[in-house]
Amino acid sequence: DFLQSVADMLSEFDVETKTISQREEYVNAKQQTSYRLRLVFSSKPQSLTALWSKIGYEYNRSRQQFANIAVQYLKHKQRITEERMTASEQAVTMRAAGVSPSAIFTTLISDRVNKRFIERSLYEGRDTAPRVNASFIAYDDYARDVTTGLGESGMVWEKIARIESVEFDDFVYDFTVVHSDHNFIANSFVVSNCGVRVLAAHISAEEIQPHIKNLATALYKNCPSGVGVSGNVKLKGDEFDQVLNNGGKWALTRGYARSEDLRHTEEYGALDSADASRVSARAKERGRNQLGTLGAGNHFIEVDRVAQVYDEPAADALGLFPGQVVVQIHCGSRGLGHQVCQDYVDRFQRTVREDKLEVPDRELVAAPYSSPEGQDYARAMAAAANFAFANRQALAFQIRRSFEETLAGRVRDFDLHQVYDIAHNMAKVEEHLVGKKKKKVLVHRKGTTRAFGPGSSVLPEDLREIGQPVLIPGSMGTMSFILVGTTGSMEQTFGSTCHGAGRVMSRSAARKSVRGEQLRERLQEQGIAVRAGSMSGLAEEAPEAYKDVSRVVDIVERAGIGKKVARLEPLAVIKG
């Protein structure tokens, strides 16, 4: 039954299997019988292609590399056989039309179709699809050719089949590849609804130091990370729409949140304007299985200690003290948010053309907020933000579980309370002082974070006196900061400040200058436990790829748009 259920699941991915076979075996001299059951994959090329391209070997990078090569090899083989089949059919058609054999040979013979192949097609008939020609490249030679210079990236080279002239009146973006003609026209994507959450325990870093490696392993196990990874939150029926409409409130009903978590979350964990019906089926499909996942890139979970407190009253209000254990979560709305942005970028581009508006870059397309397009996007974006709130909440649940699994019976009060959760990719209608009058304005925060000052009515009562917490993570292996908003940010920046240090090195440049394995060793030598699914992804987020976050925060404070409360230093890093 178990093997049959596996076969049924495989069939949903177009992977064929053979009939499950059973064999009796003697296991010792007493001739006791055991039974071996075998589930065997079909060797049909289309089935193997589906297996290796749709499922693959996520647990083994080397096997995944071989699978990628095999998929391309099979596709290459299929193209050749299709060309030969086409030539065979053309030969028969030409002969029926009265074309002479010599003219047929001249027209159809190539390096992939020889004279004997055409003769068999004309005079002997062909009941089955042709095989590749005898000179077809061997797999080992093909594998060497298509991976030259690409290392273990998982990519393979493919030759250009044809070059066609197209009408295209827009910008052309050049990807960073060392080749003068390596240009692509491609739709980009926008990262949406990312945010940071900080949890804090009532224990010191010294108390968990003997258990930090086991804690890092538990976090890595319980908090799925990596590109395209699925989460362990199972949704029923239309429950996914409830997630999009209600965000953290949905998490509360499902037991993933505490009421105090929502109180210390921006917008109390849910944007009321969200409307799941404005989110495409494709976006929902991408997000349905990703609830409770970390993702990859610069997203992370980090166990830190409070290295320094700058503002004791604010730290007391947030439940922070020197030496304390805290946890940062940095992630967003995953594939759903990407797809929402892509869907509406495409839609807005049509609107711009219809309204005959000119923009300097196609990705600066826009629509009036009050227009049908603008309202649809605002509601879809709010739904993606709610997904992000729920996603970080589900991860917080798993982090609490990991702390319990690792520390229960070993240290005292290891429970984690929520310091705050805030987004840093969002657009919201807010009331601000413009000139001398208060006005409702649409504030776009892309790569920035909300930093409302003391007395703001949107803050919970226990934080209203100090101002809104601002969470600024540093690069992996360096310090991070907790700040609070100020009256200065309200006066100068619509209640906004930075959300991180900012890059000084592209991801590709970081991979060229830093090896993931060496970076992991360096961090471990500093006493930082590292769990990561990809060494190249680890290299992309090397500390040297980012600005000095301490200098950035100092500038923020001197500018009066944020006030330092505490500095955090890492003990363990979890990445996709």
Helix 281-288 vs helix 239-246: angle between axes, to the nearest 10 degrees? Answer: 100
Joined together, the tokens standing for residue 379 give: 């509601």
Whether residue 499 lies in the annotated active site: yes
Tell me which H or E stretch contains 495: none
Question: Helix (H, G, I), strand (E, B), or coil: what is residue 391?
Answer: helix
Joined together, the tokens standing for residue 374 give: 């603008």
- Give the CA angle between residues 8, 12, 17 to the nearest 5°: 50
Joined together, the tokens standing for residue 572 give: 């363990």
Q: Which residues contact 201 (CB under 8 A, 6 or more apart)?
A: 324, 325, 326, 327, 403, 413, 414, 415, 416, 417
Joined together, the tokens standing for residue 48 give: 């193997």
- Give the CA angle between residues 521, 524, 526 to the nearest 5°: 115
**C-alpha to C-alpha distance for 197 and 433, rounded to whole angstroms:** 29
- Three-state DSSP string of 112-171: CCCHHHHHHHHHCCCCCCCCCCCCCCCHHHHHHHHCCCCCCCCCCCCCCCCCCCCCCCCC
**Contacts by 343-351 with C-beta closer than 8 Å and gap 24+?**
343/280, 343/282, 343/283, 343/380, 344/373, 344/376, 344/377, 344/380, 344/381, 345/187, 345/190, 346/187, 347/373, 347/376, 347/377, 348/373, 348/377
User: Exactly one of 299, 330, 338, 499 is catalytic; which is it?
Assistant: 499
* Backbone dihedral angles phi then psi of residue 17, each to the nearest 5 degrees: -130, 160
- Give the CA angle between residues 288, 294, 299 to the nearest 5°: 135
**C-alpha to C-alpha distance for 177 and 52, rounded to whole angstroms:** 26
Do 261 and 418 contact (CB within 8 A), yes or no? yes
Q: How many residues belong to the chain? A: 576
**C-alpha to C-alpha distance for 528 and 515, rounded to whole angstroms:** 17
The CA-atom distances, in angstroms, between 397 and each of 94, 243, 254, 465 are 70, 16, 11, 29
Joined together, the tokens standing for residue 43 give: 């060797």
**Of residues 513, 496, 517, 515, the one with CA closest to residue 505:** 513
Q: Which residues contact 453 (CB under 8 A, 6 or more apart)?
A: 467, 468, 485, 486, 487, 488, 489, 490, 495
The CA-atom distances, in angstroms, between 373 and each of 212, 346, 378, 475 are 49, 11, 9, 37
**C-alpha to C-alpha distance for 323 and 568, rounded to whole angstroms:** 9
Residue 341 exposure: Cα atoms within 13 Å on the Cβ side? 21
Joined together, the tokens standing for residue 170 give: 């827009």
Active-site residue list: 499
